[in-house]
Amino acid sequence: MPLNPDDVLILKTPFGTLIQDEKVTKDKIKGFLKDARKVISVGDSTTDRLISFGILPDLSVIDGKERRLKRSSSMSNSTFQKELRCSNSAGTISREAVSLLQDALRSHYPVRVIVDGEEDMLALPIFSIAPDCSVVLYGQPLEGIVIVKITPKTRKKAKDLMDRIGFD
């Protein structure tokens, strides 16, 4: 089912705090992560940036692409203690991916989820299932990094949007 224009606008609007690319620093990111229950990255570039700052996310969701083009190299190959794989078609949220993300979030050690397809929309279910006080970081194309602290309000907004757009 195609997305309605209002939902497309909501999806293009940052869910949290946008830090412009030129203002992203290790100290600024670490400041947002202070007291985070879990640190979660969505996207290859965002994950690579965190790792370059010495921050290994508890959960990293990547697809080996950036702006739909295959990446030639990725620091995301850094050592995660567990690697999981799932399928998720572009512009969708598959039940398989949501189930796997739920399992990954229960892990007590760093997990990398490699998505066959596209990971962009998977931030939404993460917002709805990650524990309170977790922090999710994802890229806003050509702008910067969005930082989302998980709260009941964030969770409700994500669940409401997911209910409207549906699953695979």
Q: Which of 160, 155, 120, 125 is nearest to 141 (CA)?
A: 120
pTM: 0.90
Phi, psi of 52, deg, nearest 5:
-65, -25
Q: Containing H/E element for 145?
A: strand 144-149
Nearest to 128 by CA among 149, 159, 99: 159
Provide block-wise average pLDDT over 10 residues at a time, the chain (168 residues): 63 89 96 96 94 95 73 56 91 93 95 92 95 96 95 94 75
